Structure 1
């Protein structure tokens, strides 16, 4: 089970204008290859659960995702974060604006936020 972050974001023209279409540079955590093209986005599940019913199977699942954007500049990372926010907010809830910073080794800029997503099977 997985939140539909990729299809939602890949279908959004403002998002793909910034992170590409072939490929869409939106990767599950750990799936990004070694050839880095900026900007790009990684995401991962950090929490979630189905509701607990005794007499039937759950009718939805809850996911909490962490989304991290990496860019060559702070403004590039922020622009991708804004486009992602606008695409995601019609399907899920942004629940935390995370840290922003610069990686000391790669010198890339990072922007982070969390999303709560309710998915009906």
Structure 2
């Protein structure tokens, strides 16, 4: 759930940004607007998924600290995935490369790697391991 959610939301975010760039609804000058919008969306979705992961972990593992660790990790990975999904197509467009070609696989790979790092770092800090 941890990596899948981040990768999926990142791919969805990149698809929306790529479509908006292709149709002219979005220009590179509007990057700050895109980041604000995607930060809000990522925070909202991350909060919902993080809380859901927390509840599931507490029910099945009967450990509140592990539940909090999993919930915070899911929320953070979703937010990072959403932001990566918005930023990477803009960077490719700025570099005059086609963002549709590489964005989704690159985002999924980035989130797979960073998601594990985020999870272990949060677990290390919260669980003192």
TM-score > 0.5, shorter chain as reference? no
Structure with the higher strand share, 1 or 2: 1
Higher relative contact order (CA closer than 8 Å, sequence separation 6+) = 2
Structure with the higher helix share, 1 or 2: 2
- TM-score, with length taken from structure 2: 0.30
